[in-house]
Amino acid sequence: MSIGKFFLIVAILVQSVALADVKTVTETPYLEEFVELSPTFAEYWKGCKKNSKFGSNTYWASLEEKVMMVLESFHRIIDNDYEWYNRRCGLTPDTFKKIRSVAEKISAKEKDRKLFYLEMYAVDFGRVVTNRGYGHEEAGIPIIEKIMKELEYDDATIESGKKLVRMHTMPGEIFLGEVSPNTVDRILFNYAFDKEPSFLQEWSFFNLLDINSISEEGGYLYEANALFIINFADWEYAEKFVCDGYKNRLYRIAVSTFPKRVDNKDKRRDIVRKTDKRVEEFEACIEKYSEEDRMKIERFLRVVDFHYTAAMFTKMSPKAMARFMKISSRSAFPGNGIYYSHMTSMNTMDATEFDNYLLSDDIADKQISDSCISIKGRSIVWDQNKILSNISCISRLLRG
């Protein structure tokens, strides 16, 4: 054999191994049955194929491709393919074992496995309506309800399916500090107050699959959030998280400012040390505030949900974060019994500029809130376009 032919064969073999490693799932259990028996499912599955964009991202050519990655994520766990998860997400063997244990419980019975496949296919059908991420959970509720009625599920199962669609992104949002301990407590009381583990298991496990499917190369799943999310399958862990609410929320916000993918224990320990230091510095800053402001900040972290605002804390210094919380909490609790339960932000901006803006002693708190925060329904909204405009004006004044 010539050297040229030898290297050609090697190249083909290498390419074959690479293709095998990134292959997507071709098996679609129960799909034909769902399409045949539910006209609503058939309609939205067709919409997934046509959907030219996955939310606001372009990782996938269609929503169907994203669903296929959810299925692959599930099948790799059932097949005990730890190496795939290790390469893709850097999961440790212990975390993968814990995830697989939950997967086996969910899929042990045929009827439960079939229902879980339906949820994997249909949980993001709301995106066909919204064509974006925000609001797809609510948009998906009437869709899954109609599908499950057409498939003749009982009322209790339909309610469970609606809950999963409504809250399937929430464990990841809890990890980022976006969901308040108050909301987690309400979920536990309303949906799992009998301490029945099945809902918590399905809820946490499904979110883990969903995060892993966000993009072609690992999604947003990694060791820290995988372990955090799968622990929510355990009632005692979830309940303790609520009891330690203020500290937990603050820690989640602080840790989200550091690199999420780490490849060794030393780096993970370094992140913990840095996070502890940031939390200490934040608390030292708010100690200088009035007692009323301190109480409002603690209440703010306990009860107000943040929507798509985790990025606002990226590169934000502890001092700037403390001032941000002070201004936000004053807006959330203006007095006279009024309280706003959500905070969100419009648009995006350079985190360093925002940090410098909040650190400026030339701008009063009220000036910032009056010019940059608006009220929409039950939400306080930081409008970053206005912030950028203010930064430009202030820069011109300082230069003048």
User: pLDDT tens-digit profile of 122-170?
Assistant: 999 998 887 666 678 899 999 999 999 999 999 989 988 998 898 888 8
**Are 218 and 347 contained in the same domain?**
no
pTM of structure? 0.76
Cβ-contact 256, 177 below 8 angstroms: yes
> Any idea which of 41-45, 205-209, 391-395 has the lowest mean pLDDT?
391-395
Decide if 208 is inside a domain. Answer: yes
Q: Specify burial of residue 29 (Cβ count, 10 A radius: 0-12, 13-18, 19+).
A: middle
Residues 140 and 50 in one domain: yes
The answer on 186 and 82 residing in a single domain is: yes
Is beta strand 373-376 parallel, antiparallel or unpaired with respect to 379-383? Answer: antiparallel
- Whether 11 is covered by a domain: the verdict is no
If you average pLDDT over each of 27-31, 244-248, 372-376, which comes out highest? Answer: 27-31
Burial of 377: CB neighbours in 10 Å, binned 0-12, 13-18, 19+ = exposed
Within a domain: 251: no
Count of the separate structural domains present in the chain? 2
Q: In whole angstroms, give the CA distance from residue 289 to residue 284.
A: 10
* Among 180, 213, 243, residue at a domain's last position: 243
For residue 22, the model assigns a pLDDT of 36
Q: Any idea how long the chain is? A: 400
CA distance 61 to 68: 12
Boundary (domain end) residue, out of 195, 210, 243: 243
Average pLDDT over residues 207-224: 80
Does 12 map to a domain?
Answer: no
Give the C-alpha separation, 130 to 112, whole Å.
Answer: 29
- For residues 40 and 175, membership in a common domain is answered with yes
Mean pLDDT value of segment 372-377: 88
The verdict on residue 59 lying in a domain is: yes
Task: Please give the distance of CA 376 from its chain centroid, rounded to a whole number.
Answer: 23
Shared-domain flag, residues 201 and 272:
no
CA angle 215, 219, 220 (to 5 degrees): 140
Asked if residue 297 and residue 174 are part of one domain, the reply reads: no
Instruction: Give the model's pLDDT for residue 294.
Output: 95
Are residues 162 and 290 both part of a single domain?
Answer: no
**Strand, coil or helix: what is 374?**
strand
How is the beta sheet containing 305-307 ordered, strand by strand?
A: 305-307, 342-346, 379-383, 373-376
Q: Which has the closest alpha carbon to 182: 306, 318, 325, 336?
A: 306
Q: Angle CA(23)–CA(24)–CA(27) in degrees, nearest 5? A: 125
In the chain, what percentage of residues exceed pLDDT 70?
Answer: 78
- Counting beta carbons within 10 angstroms of the beta carbon of residue 200, is it exposed (0 to 12), middle (13 to 18) or buried (19 or more)? buried
| Domain contains 9 | no
- Say yes or no: 153 and 278 in one domain: no
Measured distance CA(356)–CA(363) in Å, rounded: 11
Residue at which a domain ends, from 211, 243, 275: 243
Residue 384 lies inside a defined structural domain of this protein:
yes
**Residue 187 and residue 154 share a domain:** yes
* Shared domain check, 215 and 270: no
Q: Which of 357 and 284 is assigned the larger pLDDT?
A: 284
125: containing domain: 25-243
Highest mean pLDDT among 6-15, 126-135, 267-276, 326-335: 326-335
Question: Which helix H or strand E contains 366, and what residues bound it?
Answer: helix 365-372
Residues 205 and 341 in one domain: no
Residue 20 lies in a domain: no
Q: Which burial class, exposed, middle or buried, applies to 42 when counting CB atoms under 10 A from its CB (0-12, 13-18, 19+)?
A: middle
pLDDT at 42: 95
Q: What pLDDT is recorded for position 27?
A: 84
Q: Is 363 helix (H, G, I), strand (E, B) or coil?
A: coil
- What pLDDT shows up at residue 14? 38
CA 292 to chain centre: 32
pLDDT tens, residue by residue, 104-124: 988 888 999 999 999 999 999
